[in-house]
Amino acid sequence: MLTTTHNLSFSARADLPNNTSLSIYLLHLICIKKSNLCVSADVNSTSALLRLAEDVGDSICVLKTHADIIDDFGERTIKGLKEISKRKKFLIFEDRKFGDIGSTVQAQYTRGPLSIATWAHLTNAHIFPGPAIITALHSAAASTIEAINKCVLTEISAGTPRPSSDYDEDEDEDEDEDEDEDENEDETQDGELDYGFSRPGDNRPMSSSGRKGSVVTAITTISQTVETHDRTPSTLSRTTSAGEDEVTDREAALEELGDPPLARGLLLLAEMSSEGNLMTGPYTQSCVQAARSNSDFVLGFVAQHSLNEKRGDNFLCFTPGVSLPPEGEEQRNAKTGDDLGQQYRTPAKVVREEGCDVVIVGRGILVAGDRK
């Protein structure tokens, strides 16, 4: 099915009006890296997640996470994931699939052990609770960005003086903690908020090291950063030539592109790849209408084909259920699947015929001998 964006290059789409800053960034990123691949990080530990991000980071545009299946998810997970994302140049998409009343999804998005809004560029939601779920998440995202941009962090430690023999016993431990504290200070000075202290909306003081002090101390750090929220197409158009998806110097182009804008975006779950799902027909069209009414926050869909049907539509289509065909069967477009209802299609099918923009691949890469 041909859509309004089917014959446009990614860089040309980045120049269209009414794009979000994240859409523009992602479209240029796809051009520069020559990759529209999103890897689904269906792993269960922080070490496995960060190792996967290192392995595939140079070859992807987006990493999709499931934070709630990481057994040891915590500050180490967040800090490591953000660092690799920044260094390898890819966006983080937390596949949370929100679906509740406004006040509940706001809390789920910003609070608790996951605090998704503080680290994930993208997340997704169902609209069966009604379109108000979009405005609720948008409001929560805006509040989080404001808190990150201007935040007062306080660290308080207190303790009782100890005999010198106690310090001698803990000397090695203290040296390790000093190194950790120096690393935290460097990151804060660079403008990256270290949530080892506290998250936006959480006013409780937290020690980043848990170190016992010999005297009562109070340290207040005021951190204020100003980042560009909106990057216009003209800002990034020099990374490609003549509006085409051709880049002569990848590293220089990535350097010019820089870090992702400090912004958040939402994908609506319009269609699914599982057999017998109910996201069809009128429900899918309701998603499209809701996206058009909230295009300053909704940058696209999780769907099985492009939903850009009207003039002015420029939504990104993220498509799961994509797998490379068995060797020797590359020309076939037949669906395959597993015994849990998942159905797979080939990259050629979803990109060339269905007009999808970002292909989501999980198991096919996770179990590969060489994931790079």
| Residues tagged active-site | 97
Q: In sequence order, which residues have a C-beta less than 8 Å from that of residue 20 and are 6 or more positions away?
A: 263, 265, 295, 296, 297, 299
Q: Return the structure tokens found at 219.
A: 């340290």
CA distance 229 to 278: 37
List of E strands, 45-171: 62-65, 91-98, 122-125, 150-157
Please choose, from the candidates 229, 228, 236, the residue with its C-alpha nearest in 3D space to the C-alpha of residue 257.
236
User: How many residues appear in the chain?
Assistant: 372
Q: Are residues 306 and 329 in contact, defined by beta-carbon separation less than 8 angstroms? A: no
Using an 8 Å Cβ cutoff, are 322 and 352 in contact? no
The amino acid sitting at 173 is: E
Rounded CA-CA distance 295/233 in Å is 16
Directed axis angle between helix 46-56 and helix 75-88, to 10°? 0
DSSP string, 304-355: SS----STT---EEEE--B-PPPTT-TT----EE-TTSBEEB-HHIIIIIT-
Distances (CA, A) of 47 to 50, 51, 176, 193, 270: 5, 6, 21, 22, 32
